[in-house]
A = this chain, B = another copy of it.
Amino acid sequence: MSVASESGIETANDTASYAPTDLTVPTRGRDRAAYDQELVHAILDEAYVCHLGFVRDGAPVVLPTLYGRVGERLYVHGSTGSRPLRMAGDAPQEDPGLAVCLTVTHVDGLVLARSAFHHSINYRSVVIHGTAHQVTDPEEKRAALDALVDHVVPGRSADSRPANAKELAATAVLSLDLAAVSAKVRTGGPNDDPEDLGLPHWAGVVPLSKGHGPLIPSSDLTPGIDAPDYLIEL
């Protein structure tokens, strides 16, 4: 039994999940769809960029952009002159919002089957449908910008100069609530048809890895400033 709250989160057996909606039940691959809140948060928190989709003059536009998460709300930001941010409007009382789809994907492995047809990738993705709104409350805007910086490097917002009034005025922030949310996950090896198992082709998974190289200090870094612990622990 599950109990739906106003947030769209359902709780059952101590695990929370997003309530499936018409928008978040896929037409294909339903067995890979997941609505678990912890899984969704983990996928969102691990990526650096999302792909933000919106409609302009009836046609789709998909742009990569940074984002941050505070609880059940995501934030994206940009110049006040950028397209999606202008389109969302900025007068709260008249703000129609901007219909968006925000997608985050990790590619974890290449899946090689004996048959071309069953080639695949192992991946984890989250797709969020909703209406993005301009953040006009100064407190929320500051917290959102901190979240955007800390999303790139946890702990960094406290170790950099905060935005001043001019920078805040030049930056627009959009919020998107985590309500119509779904994850999709594929793991494991290839799913060859039984009659193909004897074919003389190698089959298996090439696991992909991510990491980072040595830090590159800015050429004008003040001598004596060492890399902070939160970077060494990355």
Contacts and interface: CB of A to CB of B under 8 A. Distances in A.
A207 B213 CA distance: 5
A48 B81 CA distance: 32
Interface in A137-170: 145-146, 148-149, 152-153, 156-157, 159-164, 167
Contacts of A103: 51, 62-64
A102 B152 contact: no
Interface in A107-137: 107, 109-110, 112-117, 119, 121, 123, 125, 127, 129
Contacts of A3: none
Contact of A101 (B59, B113, B114, B157): B59
Contacts of A157: 116
- State the number of copies, please: 2
A192 to B, nearest CB: 8
Given A114-B161, A210-B208, A202 B231 contact: yes
Interface residues of A, number: 96
Contacts of A220: 197, 203
Contact of A201 (B61, B148, B202, B225): B225
Nearest to A79: B28
A100 interface: yes
A75 interface: no
A82 interface: yes
27 contacts: A49-B107, A49-B123, A51-B53, A51-B103, A53-B60, A53-B101, A55-B60, A60-B60, A60-B61, A60-B62, A61-B129, A62-B102, A64-B123, A66-B121, A109-B216, A116-B161, A116-B162, A117-B171, A159-B201, A198-B222, A200-B225, A202-B221, A203-B217, A203-B221, A204-B221, A206-B215, A210-B210
Interface of A: 23, 27-28, 48-49, 51-55, 58-64, 66, 78-79, 81-83, 99-103, 105, 107, 109-110, 112-117, 119, 121, 123, 125, 127, 129, 145-146, 148-149, 152-153, 156-157, 159-164, 167, 171, 189-190, 192, 196-222, 225-228, 231, 234
